[in-house]
Amino acid sequence: MKIRPAHTVENIKPYFFASLNKTLAELKAKGLDIIRLDMGSPDLPPAQFIIERLIESARDPKKHGYAPMGGSSAFLKAVADYYKTRFEVSLNPKTEALALLGSKEGIFNINHTLLDPGDIVLMPDPYYPVYLAGAQLADSRVFFMPLLKENDFLPDLQAIPREIAREAKMMWLNYPNNPTGAVAGLDFFTEAVEFARENEIVIVHDAPYTDLTFDGYRAHSILEVPGAKDVAIEFNSLSKTYNMAGWRIGMAVGNAEVIRLLATYKSQIDNSIFTPIMDAGALALTGDQSWLVERNLVYQERRDVVYDGLVEAGFEVEKPKAALYLWARLPEKFGDPMQFCADVLNETGVSLTPGVIYGPSGKDYIRISIITPTPQIKEAMKRLVAWIKEN
């Protein structure tokens, strides 16, 4: 019998990193020393007090049943407290916050919550690949907003054709940005909120890197803009901020009606997060934040190592103020980022991400992550610089 997939699934490409993991395993089996500068999974652990809260809570025999759908009241209150302390944004934890199994789950599900087949989604290019996959599986139409260096990797909202803006139902934003590392100020967010209000568009702001910043920079939430909750929700995650990627815990906050609809959709798919993880997450959000300063200095040192190496190797690259990535334009003698990354991997063991997997605007770029121990990053850049000079 021939299995016939849904047409939406048939047209979806496999997730790049799933395929890459298979390739890396094969190369390791051949004895190649692999250094990964591709994925965005933090290598550092959470603070010890967060881990201790998880262990303490897990020992409670009453905390192993189903948790409340949408998140425990303690976790949702912690989310509201965090937003008030960090951004001066007031949230009603009962109606304007929702716990997620990591923000990736919410990023995917929001497409099926808000979009009907044929609806238009305004999407940055480059983009986090799940934005596009979610839109495709919802059978919606995508209009790309190029993120160009000459515009500081911000979308030019005024360049969107009026008929597209009027028909669009949802718009993705992501600052600090993956993959470019670009940041957005409140002036841009204010413009975006007004644009969304004029065109009756829901803004979905993906903001997992707001607390991963360097050189004294302080990132913003779009919800800091007055009236933003009328048109916007924001996804956030403990994966990057608190080094809890494998714990799978995040949140959606903002417009109460969108939060309600997303919660309803989720209720048919999953139950909730393991209560001890939410207990530890609540403490992470509201407990001592000083350890993040030292952690960010580790990332900042790594950023500088990668930046210096890329400049020496002839890449065109900006030094990012936030996030975990550097977005580098290939030297002119290399034309194909897919082939470039494959050659570098096979000949040096350094695994990089070709920019083209993030969209057409990434065709001349690579993305380098800084989530590998510093000595390995130094070795990786040494290998990369040497290889480029030899080729």
Q: What is the pLDDT of residues 251-291, one digit of tens each?
A: 999 999 999 999 999 999 988 899 999 999 999 999 999 99
pLDDT tens digits, residue range 194-250? 999 999 999 999 999 999 999 999 999 999 999 999 999 999 999 999 999 999 999
The CATH number of 64-286 is 3.40.640.10
Please give the mean pLDDT across all residues of the chain. Answer: 95
Q: List all residues 6 or more positions away from 30 whose beta carbon is below 8 Å from its beta carbon.
A: none
Query: Which of 239, 175, 253 has the alpha carbon at shortest distance from 207?
Result: 175
Measured CA to CA in angstroms, residue 328 lies from 123, 208, 320 at distances of: 21, 21, 11
| pLDDT tens for each residue of 129-148 | 999 999 999 999 999 999 99
pLDDT of residue 358: 95
Cα separations in angstroms, 131 against 26, 134, 135, 229:
29, 5, 6, 21
CATH of domain 7-45+291-390: 3.90.1150.10
* Contact present, 273 and 63 (Cβ < 8 Å): no
Determine the angle formed by the axes of helices 48-58 and 275-286, rounding to 10 degrees: 150
Tell me the HSE value of 214 on the side-chain side, using a 13 A CA sphere: 21
- Whole-angstrom distance, CA of residue 332 vs CA of residue 353: 18
Q: Report domain extents, the chain.
A: 7-45+291-390, 64-286
Q: Does residue 326 contact residue 377 with C-beta atoms inside 8 Å?
A: no
User: For the CA atoms of 142, 143, 148, 154, what is the dihedral angle to 10 degrees?
Assistant: -90
DSSP for 219-243 reads ---GGGSTTGGGTEEEEEEHHHHTS
- HSE at residue 120, side-chain half, CA atoms within 13 A, is 16
The span from the CA of 193 to the CA of 189, in Å, is: 6
Say if residues 356 and 362 touch (Cβ distance below 8 Å).
Answer: yes
Q: What is the pLDDT of residue 285?
A: 98
pTM for this structure?
0.95
Give pLDDT tens digits for 353-368.
999 999 999 999 999 9
Number of Cβ within a 10 Å radius of residue 265:
15
Question: Residue 150 and residue 159: Cα distance in Å, rounded?
Answer: 14
